[in-house]
Structure 1
Amino acid sequence: MAMIKLGIRELVEFVLRSGDLNPQTDASTNTALAGANIHRRLQKQRLKDHPDYQKEVGLKTTVTMNDQSYSIHGRADGIFEVGDQAHIEEIKTSDLVFEDVPDSTLTLYWGQVKVYGYLLMKDQQRDHVTLQLTYYQTNEDKVTTQEQEWSFEESQKFFQSLIDEYESWLILRADMRTQRDQTIAALKFPYPAYRTGQHELAVATYKSIMLKKQMLVEAPTGTGKTISTLFPTIKAMGEGLIQRTFYLTAKQSTRRVAEDALSLMATQGLSLKSITLTAKETITFPEEVDIAPADNPFMLGYYDRLKPALMDILTHEQQITRDVIESYAHKHTLDPFEFSLDVSLFCDVIVCDYNYLFDPLVYLQRFFSEPDEDNFFLIDEVHNLLSRAREMYSTSVDEQEIKDLKPLFKGDKGFHRHVNALIKTFKALSSLLDDEHSDDLTIQPPLTSFVEELQHFNDFISDWLPKQEDSEELQKVLDAYFACLDYVRLSDNYGEEYRTRLFQTNRGLCVRLVCLDPSTFLNQSMHLGRGAVLFSATVTPLSYYQQVLGVDEDGITYQLPSPFEPRHQAILVANYIQTTYRQRDANLTRILTSIHTLVAGKIGNYLIFFPSYGYLTTVVGAYQQAYPDERVIKQEPAMQSQDRDAFLAKFKPDATQSLVGFAVLGGIFSEGIDLPADRLIGVGIVSVGLPGLNVETDLIRDYFDGTNGHGFEYAYQLPGLNNVLQAAGRLIRSSHDQGIVLLMDQRFSQPRYSNLFPPHWRFWRGVNNVQALSACIDAFWKQAKLPQTKES
């Protein structure tokens, strides 16, 4: 029977934690980013003081119960000798003054280092060690050190007490593992046959797990990429190659697809624990929103009710969705977000957003504090990951956000001294803009003095906050404090891939930390597991995405064929249309006529995409004037989910009158929607989709010009092309679908674009006038003979 692994920190916290949930001391991500840097700094200092100092020392032991072996493992921050006595150091970081750290938290700190002491003495046959707790108060750069002498006999009793307390949970884990592996062994692929490319993707996924590789795959629509990656990953889990899979997505709709795939396998007999994590702000109960933690019934006594709730949910549920979490959290009066994180420790598949792995400020430290080859990552829709990662590693602070604090807490001199100091710093930075006669300035070196001033402000506020009553005034302070805190934390990453922007807005000066290239950080995150499979229907060209997403140079990359007949769609390029900014007015009539020609070819539903809302509005107005009898709808700014659903509901099958929908490239209707069969029979795309000119995109262009000479391609052309491919991908959703993609920009015929067309576009054709377009459309619909019914 395969060994079951259990982390020392998880063991100690599970057994010893009790009482209330305290977000300030329990939120492990609060100081995770700063904590990692502080660990390295303190370890470097220890090495100077003790040349024999060993950092990050792995320690483990094996416990056997009921013929099942359990590996109890962890990593001590440091071990060094003083005379003939070994010292084991555990480093902890927090904003709290050491004297304010609750006894319950100190019990957990000491519990960890006590287990390390036992394992070291057991391995090295020592009678005694010195346990050292090093506490670093981040806002004061203050170090507090405490030591305890610890005998082998004491440590053995302590460790055994933990194991005795945890025994029923170890047995539960073993029983769940046995049942899981038995059902995985019997599990068959949940469809009668593999689609084109599906078996290839499943085999490649399994091999990437075996070889501990990262793999980037373009899997066109219809490949069934979710089941083709989840199925082999679960098979590898049953064989003991991995023990936990993270299915990471950008959107809720994609998470539902993963849930559906897991449900399908469950109907085939699969028994494993899966959970879908929901964002804290979304899943928090409404009655919690305006209550302080000290008064929140879902936090008070949280850890005293946690274990019965865990036993309840784990013995009754397999697929743990948001609804399931909320039901059990209500039943046991637990905060649903924290409860979901505690449940996830017992789960085999975790479906969640990108940020739980990649975001340096909110990643799940309970899973990713150190590399673990039991983890494997499936990363879906990765064409979205680059822009998301840039935002994760970028942040800003507004001058007005600080100025808004001036009227608050008028009698508090210390508060106003620190607010005024920060305002003065903003004024000094504004003078840099004045000196350059500019309202937008980019600086490459970090603003060290600005970061230091933010840190002074943060230090004061973190000490000041606990003394304040909850109020609207305090919430404004908190908003400013968190903005400053994020800026300081992300500044620790500052390197060649960063720039600092100073620019004026209607809120005064804004200081923005801009990450141009997050590839190094993404790579570091992916190396926290055994490997990763990154996939999307549109990652063309693969070499570009491999570089910008930080996929290992020796990673696997390949492109799967489309499972659909390429001649079921016509790809037409209007060579007579120019959509550059200067040519738009002159080409308006040609665009209107081309759209009308597309729609006149066959009654049905059409989507026409534009690079910006402004351009869309101009064309829609002109189109409705030119063709007042046609049914037209358009995307509106800031549409809510109900508005989005109402828009899509108008695309009905068996249309008796054509409908023309106008939408924005890269927007809510250009990806993640499914209009199969004749709910959509034509897509028009105006322009090559270049992002609008702006300062930060130009910074990206200049950065890549300097690193690889492909600045325009990396900043503008390839992101724009991805938007085009995603929008075109709304058309063919099944083997029965047919339709026309009309690309309205002569640049598509140029090799720099046409050479990047996916293989299933290989029959694309350029047309030189509207008459030729009309002839091609007529010819396509005459030869289209397959019934347009939704695929079962």
Structure 2
Amino acid sequence: MENIKEVSISVRALIEFILRSGDIDIGRIGTNKTLEGIKGHKKVQKMRKEKATPLLMTEYESEVTLKHKEEYKEFIFRIEGRVDGIIKEKGKNIVIEEIKTTSRDLNLIKENKLHLAQAKCYAYIYSIQNKLNEIDIKITYFNLDTEKMKFIDKSFFIDELEIFFKDLIKRYYVWVHNGEKLRKERNESIKKTNFPFENYRDGQRKLAVCVYNTIAHNKNIFIQAPTGIGKTISTIFPSVKAMGEEKASKLFYLTAKTVTREFVMEAFNNMIKDGLKFKVVSITAKDKICFKEETNCNGKDCEYAKGHFDRVNEAIFNIINNEYLITEDVIKKYALKYKVCPFELVLDLSLWCDCVVCDYNYVFDPKVYLRRYFGENNKENFIFLVDEAHNLVHRSRNMYSSSINKKSFLQAKKKISDKKVKKALNKINSYFIGIRKLCSVGNYYIQKEAPKDLYIYINKLILELEIFLNKNQSKVVEEIVELYFDCLHFVRIYELYNSEYITYAKKNNDEVVLTLYSVDTSQLLKDTIKKSVSTIFFSATLSPVKYFRKILGGSEEDYILKLPSPFPKDNKCVLISNNISTKYKDREKSYERICDYIKTVCKNKKGNYMVFFPSYKYMNDVYSIYKDRYNDKIMIQSSSMSEESRRGFLDEFIPHTKETNIGFCVLGGVFSEGIDLKNDRMIGTIIVGVGLPKICLENDIVREYFEEKYNKGFEYAYMYPGMTKVLQAAGRVIRSEKDRGVIVLIDERFDNYFYKGLIPEEWKPISRVRNIEDINSKLNEFWNKFNR
């Protein structure tokens, strides 16, 4: 028994993986399981219990958990599931009931292979546990609109159920056996894997050791590690080592930007080239990886969706036995070969990989998170590596919030003639008219309570839309389907609503937008973090670190690590111009002096520079003046740059250039973090302003909330997010031991006590400059020492 290994899987997951077939049909509208579907189940169960009286000698049990152990070869399979109902009537066979709620016409519903297979598994487990030779199955379809039911009844002997069940296990064994073989190969290779660089940078070994110990002790950690220390490999390497010792089952490397995922895949590739046998998959967004111009996920409109489930398992098996680094190109190659949907392929494939590299959304966002991993009953030992964790503050507020607008309901009303749908739409429209009246002062309205009436109206609309859409699939317009899913998301977010939420509405003429706004996401993030064995938050700008620990769902028990820069202080020159105000009211007066400062810095030594501004308008205004006064080569960031344009922008920053190139960029934008311009590809950055987010309703709501909670409203809403952007932008300059560069901070507030407290220790000493002569003097002194 020593070599026996246990494998756990739910009945539903087993059935859906082994027996799935046919087309992808994401366009088919299902049931709102969060509310109406649950109500439908309960109605059927209530009816059964009411009929199950002692007088009729009938008993009914609902939501019965069944567990079964099945030994096959070197594995014990633990199978678990929950039966909707068990009907016991004297003199008759026990009945296993599987309830399915639907909004479709019951006459169109035929026997469903997966529904029946699920019930057969429950029937088998129940039969062997209760020594039954024969058992019945009832698949009950409950129409949510009419409350009518359709039944599909079957009877089975234990022998035929046993054949069916053991065949499932036999087929699943092939996958588990293969996975176990790959796991053993992986662990043997991990033992032989060394740190992929000859030497550790200062602080890098400490970082790696702390990450390993955090995982080993099932803890979380918040790490502030300076730019250039090598955070990516220093978190990946110890995580891989911990997995090789079975301290975790899967690694999720979570990022905010595509370019970061490329660095991560490169780090893994280097270790794989050195012999590491580790399956790594990168998840690419659906609209980017899709082969079709329009993403219509159904067999009618897409040849890759048609028959997808007939071929996808073969594709997965081939990939996991032939590839280690599974990039977008690899996925597309196999998707074309097997003619399957590349996005659905990569999601399924991730189940069999050791590491999933993906956006934060796939773990934290309730709209798109990977339910195959993070559902309520999932229990796995995951490691979460949260890169550039400072981004998760703002991103999580978006993830856990939901907005709906009056206009979309009015447009739907014009396109739908169905009376019941229109009635539901009218209720919502009337609600919005009432909200619009409340927005008379300042064009907005705020309340702490959740909008309960609207929630009820929207749930009713969802139910009516499901019926309408399923009846009229060939005639449905995209806007109606989009409204349906927006309503579903609103309901999901409403069900998360607590004291950390605010409801607000904004009015613009006749239009009204209502938002369920998640001001403090810390508890929601904490709930997800609990699904990991260990979560590692890291960033160069996790400062103040206790603020980030608090707001990102950490606790006092979580570790904190702050590391100094490994690079010589003499390689950096930091200047503060503290006699220019970049406050909104003073901006126009600052343009010409800022142009002079930029010119002075950039003419002192030829090379590549970036200038960061707090907004596109500020940047464009300064750019207009600068190009009229000087002939320097300037690239300017636009608000809608394609990935190709971004690469072209960065390609201009060539090393050891003999001319001066200046990039005008926006703080917090794509060029202010996540880019690695080493080897003189950037020798200086000029940062205009302290990066404060714009004053708006949302940020003021955050300010008021945290002022009341911690007496730090301005810091949480404006100061900390602003300085995070400043520190990130400044971090583009020194990326390696050989890099040398200047950082110029332009704003009188940088000399303020509170802002100075957020400036890293390794930036010191900092020089203050008040005019062109000061800047020239300091820069000459700095650059000349490298020419001696």
**Cα separation, 1, equivalents of 2:146 and 2:256:** 37
**Cα separation, 1, equivalents of 2:195 and 2:437:** 65
Q: Residue 55 of structure 2 aligns with which residue?
A: none
Q: Residue 188 of structure 2 aligns with which residue?
A: 182
Q: Residue 395 of structure 1 aligns with which residue?
A: 402
**Cα separation, 2, equivalents of 1:524 and 1:145:** 39
Go from structure 1 to structure 2 and tell me whether the alpha carbon gap of 1:143 and 1:373 turns closer, same or farther (over 3 Å shift): farther
- The alpha-carbon deviation at position 192 of structure 1 amounts to 1.6
TM-score w.r.t. the length of structure 1 is: 0.88
Go from structure 1 to structure 2 and tell me whether the alpha carbon gap of 1:415 and 1:285 turns closer, same or farther (over 3 Å shift): same
**Cα separation, 2, equivalents of 1:562 and 1:225:** 12
Deviation sequence 1:35-57 (CA, Å, 0-9, x none): 998799999999x999x999795
Q: Residue 465 of structure 1 aligns with which residue?
A: 469
Q: Secondary structure at the match of 1:404?
A: helix
- The alpha-carbon deviation at position 427 of structure 1 amounts to 1.9
Deviates more, 1:146-155 or 1:248-257: 146-155
Q: Secondary structure at the match of 1:306?
A: helix
Deviation sequence 1:525-553 (CA, Å, 0-9, x none): 12122221121221111111111111233
Q: Residue 495 of structure 2 aligns with which residue?
A: 492
- The alpha-carbon deviation at position 232 of structure 1 amounts to 1.7
1:606 aligns with one of 596, 599, 609: 609
- Tell me whether 1:552 sits opposite 2:558 in the alignment: no
After TM superposition, list the pairs within 5 Å mapping 1:517-596 onto structure 2: 517-596=520-599
Q: Give the conservation status (yes or no) of the 8 Å contact 1:567–1:763.
A: no
- The alpha-carbon deviation at position 132 of structure 1 amounts to 8.4
Deviates more, 1:353-362 or 1:579-588: 579-588
**Cα separation, 1, equivalents of 2:767 and 2:147:** 66
Deviates more, 1:437-446 or 1:421-430: 421-430
2:621 aligns with one of 610, 618, 621: 618
2:719 aligns with one of 711, 717, 738: 717
After TM superposition, list the pairs within 5 Å mapping 1:91-110 onto structure 2: 103-104=111-112, 107-110=113-116
Q: Residue 278 of structure 1 aligns with which residue?
A: 284
Q: Residue 383 of structure 1 aligns with which residue?
A: 390
**Cα separation, 1, equivalents of 2:42 and 2:624:** 62
Q: Secondary structure at the match of 2:415?
A: coil
**Cα separation, 1, equivalents of 2:502 and 2:216:** 39
Go from structure 1 to structure 2 and tell me whether the alpha carbon gap of 1:621 and 1:510 turns closer, same or farther (over 3 Å shift): same
- The alpha-carbon deviation at position 476 of structure 1 amounts to 2.1
Q: Residue 408 of structure 1 aligns with which residue?
A: 415
Q: Give the conservation status (yes or no) of the 8 Å contact 2:45–2:62.
A: no
**Cα separation, 2, equivalents of 1:39 and 1:208:** 45
Deviation sequence 1:704-727 (CA, Å, 0-9, x none): 112111111111000001000110
Q: Secondary structure at the match of 1:431?
A: helix
2:701 aligns with one of 699, 703, 716: 699
TM-score w.r.t. the length of structure 2 is: 0.89
1:223 aligns with one of 229, 235, 256: 229
Q: Give the conservation status (yes or no) of the 8 Å contact 1:139–1:462.
A: no
Q: Give the conservation status (yes or no) of the 8 Å contact 1:606–1:683.
A: yes
Go from structure 1 to structure 2 and tell me whether the alpha carbon gap of 1:58 and 1:383 turns closer, same or farther (over 3 Å shift): farther
Q: Secondary structure at the match of 2:532?
A: coil
Go from structure 1 to structure 2 and tell me whether the alpha carbon gap of 1:544 and 1:499 turns closer, same or farther (over 3 Å shift): same
For residue 548 of structure 1, what is the amino acid of its counterpart? I
For the aligned residues, what is the CA RMSD?
Answer: 3.6
1:447 aligns with one of 447, 451, 464: 451
Deviates more, 1:72-81 or 1:218-227: 72-81
User: Gaps (5+ residues) in structure 2?
Assistant: 53-59
Q: Give the conservation status (yes or no) of the 8 Å contact 2:40–2:144.
A: no
Q: Residue 670 of structure 2 aligns with which residue?
A: 668
Q: Give the conservation status (yes or no) of the 8 Å contact 2:418–2:468.
A: no
After TM superposition, list the pairs within 5 Å mapping 1:335-374 onto structure 2: 335-369=341-375, 370-374=377-381
Go from structure 1 to structure 2 and tell me whether the alpha carbon gap of 1:762 and 1:54 turns closer, same or farther (over 3 Å shift): farther
**Cα separation, 2, equivalents of 1:595 and 1:138:** 66
Q: Give the conservation status (yes or no) of the 8 Å contact 1:31–1:93.
A: no
Go from structure 1 to structure 2 and tell me whether the alpha carbon gap of 1:577 and 1:215 turns closer, same or farther (over 3 Å shift): same
Deviation sequence 1:655-679 (CA, Å, 0-9, x none): 3332332211111221122222222
Deviates more, 1:303-312 or 1:128-137: 128-137
For residue 541 of structure 1, what is the amino acid of its counterpart? P
1:753 aligns with one of 747, 755, 768: 755
Deviates more, 1:295-304 or 1:115-124: 115-124
Q: Give the conservation status (yes or no) of the 8 Å contact 2:86–2:94.
A: yes
- Tell me whether 1:510 sits opposite 2:517 in the alignment: no
- The alpha-carbon deviation at position 380 of structure 1 amounts to 1.3
Q: Secondary structure at the match of 1:192?
A: coil
- The alpha-carbon deviation at position 753 of structure 1 amounts to 1.7
1:741 aligns with one of 740, 743, 749: 743
Q: Give the conservation status (yes or no) of the 8 Å contact 1:56–1:77.
A: yes
Deviates more, 1:689-698 or 1:269-278: 269-278
May I ask how many residue pairs the two structures share in their alignment? 774
Q: Secondary structure at the match of 1:194?
A: coil
**Cα separation, 2, equivalents of 1:280 and 1:139:** 33
For residue 374 of structure 1, what is the amino acid of its counterpart? N
Go from structure 1 to structure 2 and tell me whether the alpha carbon gap of 1:683 and 1:288 turns closer, same or farther (over 3 Å shift): closer
User: Gaps (5+ residues) in structure 1?
Assistant: 787-792
Q: Give the conservation status (yes or no) of the 8 Å contact 1:4–1:174.
A: no
Q: Residue 61 of structure 1 aligns with which residue?
A: 69
- The alpha-carbon deviation at position 687 of structure 1 amounts to 1.2
Q: Give the conservation status (yes or no) of the 8 Å contact 1:76–1:88.
A: no
How much identity, in percent, do the aligned residues show? 34
**Cα separation, 2, equivalents of 1:251 and 1:140:** 47
Q: Residue 245 of structure 1 aligns with which residue?
A: 251
- The alpha-carbon deviation at position 496 of structure 1 amounts to 1.4
Q: Give the conservation status (yes or no) of the 8 Å contact 1:57–1:77.
A: yes
Deviation sequence 1:382-439 (CA, Å, 0-9, x none): 1111211111111212222222234425x544444444443333222222224xx341
Q: Secondary structure at the match of 2:557?
A: coil
**Cα separation, 1, equivalents of 2:357 and 2:36:** 27
